[in-house]
Amino acid sequence: MNEKIAPLVDEIIRALGTTGTTVNQAIIEQELTRLLEFKVPSEEAKRSLLKKYGVSEVKRLSDLHGGERDIEITARILDINLKVVGIKGQERTIFMGTMADETGAKSFTAWEDFGLEMGDVVKVNNAYIRTWQGMPEVNFGPRSNVEKLDSAALDSLATVDIDKPVLLADLAEGAAAVHTIFRILECQQKEINTKNGSRTIISGTAADHSAKLPFTSWESNPVLAKGVTVEVKNAYVKSWRGVPTINMGEFSTISKSDTDISNDDLTPILNPEPVRLDSITGRDGVFDAIIEGSLISIRPGSGLIIRCPQCSRVIQKNTCRVHGVVEGLYDMRIKSILDDGTGALTVVLNADLTQKVTGYSIDKAKEVAASAMNQSAVEDEMRRRLLGRSMRARGNMTKGEYGITLVADDASLTEMDTAAEAAALIKEMESVGQMLSGKGGST
């Protein structure tokens, strides 16, 4: 055997042996040699052969990025709920939830009923990863094999105790075994459907001096009440509509904190000022951010639009790509690009906020479109009114396949003090210049 490929052949034979698959060593050597002759990288060649003979590539949740196929995941089911979806005109029940290993947590979708329960530790073979709302999600179905393991296989996940609590601003999607302290600003119970029937969960808004974030507890706990400062251990974070959300489940510990977070501690959070875009655009998502800058673009698709009455998708010629010919409903929106000099993002305004900043109601927009015999006339008019103006917006910022977007809950046009902004920018540039010259002088 060629000495260069002998180690690879041995690795493939050992991997196949763990699955009970027996393949002649000479065949493995021959197929591997052929792949290498075609300039396939050695590791890729090994993965290709393992995949051919039904061996999944073992992955940790933190290593997933989207697009991977035929992989093996071992994780604990933190929560699971059923959902009825329409696929090719037929209703189908799928199972959605969150799984976690020692490296993080990820959402999953099971396209078959594998009898999964919250707390199960499972090994999933032939799973695949797709991107949903900009985040990798584990998917498995008819081709997948799901094996339930002994709970001790991931005992560490249920017992991790981190001494130093993490600030809310530092939490990101996928974080597992989270230890944090926050005050509950809002709290309410609601009923949801799960695979085992209706269930009551507790959701609300949490805050510390660094940030506000939504939270969900899948277990009832009397400590979770408005105004209470709580300490949570072994929580996990997953994104909901692009915003990191604290989740507490069966393996989480929730108690009243010995250290109280007061209103004074939360002053910067309860009465926030606009933040620089460069301070938030590097994060996966931000809850309840205030931003301010110049409107440098009004994007196509703004102005008067028509939506499907069933799914709210924007439609053309009264035809929805999902529901066919429908009687559309008029709506308005603005999709704009806002720039504050440190960064830029898309800001989306609904009909109410569009009317607030332009003075256009839906009825007035319909009149303008009818007069011009062109629906895009409304977009053109809004572009004329808004382009170059300054705007302050408040809402949730998300990062996904369409870029960085803030869906506004409130918005207003502002008058920017150009002289003050220019002076601040010059001062910052001078400070950076002095810092760089100081570094240069020391080398």
- Residue 196 has what pLDDT? 67
- Residue 333 has what pLDDT? 96
- Give SS3 for 200: strand
Please indicate, yes or no, whether residues 412 and 332 belong to a single structural domain of this protein. Answer: yes
386 vs 65, which has greater pLDDT? 386
The string of pLDDT tens digits covering residues 165-204 is 999 988 887 777 789 999 999 999 988 877 667 788 999 9
Q: CA angle, corner 36, sides to 34 and 39, nearest 5?
A: 120
Rounded distance between C-alpha atoms, residue 266 and residue 209, angstroms: 5
Please indicate, yes or no, whether residues 314 and 403 belong to a single structural domain of this protein. Answer: yes
Q: Please indicate, yes or no, if residue 160 is contained in any of the structural domains.
A: no
The strand pairing partners of 217, in sequence order, are 202, 248
Please indicate, yes or no, whether residues 151 and 182 belong to a single structural domain of this protein. Answer: no
Q: Please indicate, yes or no, if residue 324 is contained in any of the structural domains.
A: yes
Q: Please indicate, yes or no, if residue 90 is contained in any of the structural domains.
A: yes
pLDDT at 378 over 50: yes
Please indicate, yes or no, whether residues 91 and 209 belong to a single structural domain of this protein. Answer: no
Please indicate, yes or no, whether residues 45 and 66 belong to a single structural domain of this protein. Answer: no
Please indicate, yes or no, whether residues 32 and 115 belong to a single structural domain of this protein. Answer: no
Q: Where are the beta strands (DSSP E) in 264-383?
A: 285-298, 303-307, 319-320, 324-325, 329-339, 344-349
Last residue of a domain, one of 270, 292, 318: 270
Structural domain tally of the chain? Answer: 4
pLDDT-derived band at 290 (thresholds 50, 70, 90) equals very high
Last residue of a domain, one of 90, 121, 155: 155
- Residue 274 has what pLDDT? 92
Please indicate, yes or no, whether residues 119 and 233 belong to a single structural domain of this protein. Answer: no
Rounded-to-10 torsion of CA 291, 292, 298, 301: 20
> Residue 356 is part of which domain span?
277-420
* Residue 65: CATH number of its domain: 2.40.50.140
Q: Where are the beta strands (DSSP E) in 54-103?
A: 57-58, 71-87, 90-101
Q: Please indicate, yes or no, if residue 353 is contained in any of the structural domains.
A: yes
Average pLDDT estimate for 13-31 = 70
- Residue 224 has what pLDDT? 95
Q: Please indicate, yes or no, if residue 92 is contained in any of the structural domains.
A: yes
Q: Please indicate, yes or no, if residue 329 is contained in any of the structural domains.
A: yes
The string of pLDDT tens digits covering residues 45-100 is 777 776 666 666 778 888 888 888 888 899 988 888 888 877 777 788 899 888 88
Rounded distance between C-alpha atoms, residue 9 and residue 24, angstroms: 11
Please indicate, yes or no, whether residues 116 and 188 belong to a single structural domain of this protein. Answer: no
Q: Please indicate, yes or no, if residue 187 is contained in any of the structural domains.
A: yes
The string of pLDDT tens digits covering residues 157-172 is 554 445 689 999 888 8
Please indicate, yes or no, whether residues 24 and 78 belong to a single structural domain of this protein. Answer: no
Please indicate, yes or no, whether residues 126 and 200 belong to a single structural domain of this protein. Answer: no
Q: Cα–Cα distances in Å, from 323 out to 87, 308, 317, 326, 332? A: 12, 8, 13, 7, 21
Please indicate, yes or no, whether residues 66 and 142 belong to a single structural domain of this protein. Answer: yes
pLDDT at 10 over 90: no
Last residue of a domain, one of 248, 270, 292: 270
- Residue 217 has what pLDDT? 94
- Percent of the chain exceeding pLDDT 70 equals 88
pLDDT-derived band at 20 (thresholds 50, 70, 90) equals low
Q: Please indicate, yes or no, if residue 320 is contained in any of the structural domains.
A: yes
DSSP class per residue in 171-186: --TT--SEEEEEEEEE
The string of pLDDT tens digits covering residues 96-127 is 888 888 887 888 999 999 999 888 999 998 89
**pTM more than 0.85:** no
Please indicate, yes or no, whether residues 398 and 306 belong to a single structural domain of this protein. Answer: yes
